Amino acid sequence: MLKVVKFGGSSVASAEQFRKVKAVMEADPARRVAVISAAGKRTPDDHKMTDLLYLVHAHLRYGVPADDILAVLRSRLVEIRDGLGLAFPIEREFDGYAASLSKETGADELVSRGEYFTSRLMAEYLGFAFVDAADVVQFTYEGKIDEEKTYAAIRGAASERGRIVIPGFYGRLPGGRVKTLTRGGSDVTGALAAAAIGADVYENWTDVSGILMADPRIVDRPSSIRQITYAELKELTMMGASVLHEDAVEPVRRAGIALNIRNTNDPADPGTMIVEKVENEEDSEHFITGLAGKRNFTALTLSKRDMEDSQTLIKALQILDRHKVFVEHVTLGLDSFSIMFSTEEAEEDLYEIVAEMKSECHPDKVDIQEKLALISVVGRRMMYRPGTSGKLFAALGDKNVNIRTIKQGADELSIMVGVKNEDFEKAVRALYEEFAG
Ligand code: ASP
């Protein structure tokens, strides 16, 4: 058994959190590769090292002294080092780096130092070898991850050096410059490392016990999801559930690796297991896996008598495509169709789109309805089970929520309903209660 383990910013925010990380690592010898984020917030009003480093960069760019922020960063690192009794000469290393900074220092290189220094401390504390991400994570000239080279380099480092710590979030461009991924990118580094060494599991340790069945800002203390398939996860994330960096799933899914989301502050909780296929279905407590939704969609309805072929719909979709509007949902009637898309995406172009629809599709009428919300109820166990949509409609009907539109995918993995923005929260709560409460 081989595991790649990624710890997020809150898991490495202080000496105390470092101790929890060590306990997790020591509890399972299969955990051989650790990917580490930059120290994050210790309390809700604390700052992430990454944010402070971006701030340093902004100061440098405008020629404003950044000494105070640098001092905060330095003292956080010193505090962790001293709290754990480590030997790493952080003062010398940090001061040397700070002295090298100038207006020309690139934001990516500067910001990557959060992961770099946090990982140096972690490597010493765990007794693992430090492998610099700049030596293994390689980008192409276009700024995309060069998977072949990255996998080979990580594989090489792991086999030569045994147990390793790799800083997340950054890598190197072909010319040698440091480049970061987008925010939250350590999730991606962890996924790449897991795929590279052919891990059995990619564990992503954070500060929540897995993925929740619904948004906790809407539903009071929703249960967490024990097991979910990659296909279900995709449905939930498409509808707004934020779980992992969106590029972190593909490398592990492709390699057939299970992804386990765990809580550093509650290591006994098994968290959420994300797999291609759930083997022992009996264990599942709830009929659905989860639900997610988003507000602010627009429905454009085009009516035309005797719309005998699909040409009008094709033209309408082409117009939206020209304006780079992602179509979320289409419903067809005999003499009309409705196309739904995010209001924000079409905001600037809406009048143009309507004008083009009128001149190219020759409709009798074009209607625009805004302020709609979409909610997706996701669950592999809904497949081939009669009565699910009946329950869903009854639950919403009982709460007096009018359903504007409905979609069930052919794979029966999810049912999506469109409601008015103002009914959104009420509908999410009603559905949660019906299927998971
Ligand atoms: N430290 C980076 C961020 O705050 C990357 C990460 O933590 O994944 O976005």
> Looking at ligand 1, which atom is closest to the CA of residue 184?
8
- 407's CB contacts (< 8 A; 6+ apart) are 329, 331, 415, 416, 417
For residue 420, pLDDT over 90 is answered with yes
For residue 276, pLDDT over 80 is answered with yes
- Give the pLDDT score at 258: 97
Q: Give the tens place of pLDDT for each residue, 252-262.
A: 999 999 999 99
Kindly give the residue spans of alpha helices, DSSP state H, lying in 222-310.
230-238, 249-254
Cα 371 to ligand 1 centroid, rounded to whole Å: 33
Quote the pTM value.
Answer: 0.90
Instruction: Report the nearest-CA residue for atom 8 of ligand 1.
Output: 184
Cα 50 to ligand 1 centroid, rounded to whole Å: 7
Question: Pocket around ligand 1: residues whose beta carbon is below 6 Å from it?
Answer: 8-9, 37-38, 48, 50, 114, 168-169, 183-187
Query: Alpha-carbon dihedral of residues 136, 141, 147, 149, nearest 10 degrees?
Result: -50
* Rounded Cα–Cα distance for residues 40 and 115 (Å): 10
Contact 433, 222 (CB under 8 A): no
Tokens of 389: 């949509």
Specify the DSSP class assigned to residue 268: T
Q: What is the DSSP string of 105-146?
A: --HHHHHHHHHHHHHHHHHHHHTPEE--HHHH-BB-TTS-B-
Instruction: Report the nearest-CA residue for atom 5 of ligand 1.
Output: 184
Contact 210, 224 (CB under 8 A): yes
Among the residue ranges 70-74, 97-101, 285-289, the one predicted with the least confidence is: 285-289
Q: Give the tens place of pLDDT for each residue, 210-225.
A: 999 999 999 999 999 9
Contact 31, 264 (CB under 8 A): no
Confidence of residue 270 (pLDDT cuts 50, 70, 90): very high
Cα 175 to ligand 1 centroid, rounded to whole Å: 24
Confidence of residue 275 (pLDDT cuts 50, 70, 90): very high
Report the SS3 class of residue 339. Answer: strand
Q: Which residue's entry shows tokens 């991850």?
A: 145
Cβ of 312: how many Cβ atoms within 10 Å?
Answer: 19
36, 37, 57, best to mutate for ligand 1 pocket (most atoms within 8 Å of CB): 37
Cα 14 to ligand 1 centroid, rounded to whole Å: 16
- Give the pLDDT score at 53: 98
CA distances from 221 to 48, 177, 433, 437 (A): 26, 45, 12, 10
Strand-strand pairing, 258-263 and 201-206: parallel
- The stretch 351-379 carries a mean pLDDT of 95
Backbone angles phi, psi at 318, to 5 degrees: -65, -35
Strand-strand pairing, 414-420 and 365-378: antiparallel
Cα 111 to ligand 1 centroid, rounded to whole Å: 9
Cα 10 to ligand 1 centroid, rounded to whole Å: 10
* Rounded Cα–Cα distance for residues 153 and 170 (Å): 14
- What one-letter code names the amino acid at 169? F
Q: Give the tens place of pLDDT for each residue, 176-192.
A: 999 999 999 999 999 99
CATH class assigned to 290-435: alpha beta
Bridge partners, residue 298, by sequence: 341
- The stretch 345-361 carries a mean pLDDT of 94
17, 115, 116, best to mutate for ligand 1 pocket (most atoms within 8 Å of CB): 115
For residues 386 and 335, which has the higher predicted lDDT (pLDDT)? 335
For residue 52, pLDDT over 70 is answered with yes
CATH 3.40.190.10 for the 3-207 domain, yes or no: no
Cβ of 29: how many Cβ atoms within 10 Å?
Answer: 10
For residue 282, pLDDT over 70 is answered with no
Q: Give the tens place of pLDDT for each residue, 300-345.
A: 999 999 887 789 999 999 999 999 999 998 988 889 999 999 999 9
> Looking at ligand 1, which atom is closest to the CA of residue 9?
7
For residue 418, pLDDT over 90 is answered with yes
Instruction: Determine whether 159 is exposed, middle or buried from the number of CB atoms within 10 Å of its CB (0-12, 13-18, 19+).
Output: exposed
Cα 30 to ligand 1 centroid, rounded to whole Å: 25
- Give the pLDDT score at 238: 87
* Rounded Cα–Cα distance for residues 360 and 319 (Å): 9
For residues 189 and 409, which has the higher predicted lDDT (pLDDT)? 189
* Rounded Cα–Cα distance for residues 389 and 408 (Å): 9
- Give the pLDDT score at 405: 87
- Give the pLDDT score at 251: 96
Cα 112 to ligand 1 centroid, rounded to whole Å: 9
Q: What is the DSSP string of 158-170?
A: HHHHSSEEEESSE
Contact 154, 197 (CB under 8 A): yes
- The stretch 360-389 carries a mean pLDDT of 91
Q: Give the tens place of pLDDT for each residue, 23-44.
A: 999 999 999 999 999 999 999 9
Tokens of 300: 């454009």
- The stretch 149-167 carries a mean pLDDT of 98
116, 183, 207, best to mutate for ligand 1 pocket (most atoms within 8 Å of CB): 183
- Give the pLDDT score at 410: 74
Cα 13 to ligand 1 centroid, rounded to whole Å: 12
Cβ of 143: how many Cβ atoms within 10 Å?
Answer: 9
- Give the pLDDT score at 284: 63
Exposure of 132 in the CB half-sphere (CA atoms within 13 A): 10
In percent, the amount of the chain with pLDDT more than 90 equals: 87
- Give the pLDDT score at 149: 98
73, 118, 186, best to mutate for ligand 1 pocket (most atoms within 8 Å of CB): 186
Instruction: State which H helix or E strand residue 315 sits in.
Output: helix 311-322
Domain range list for the chain: 3-207, 290-435
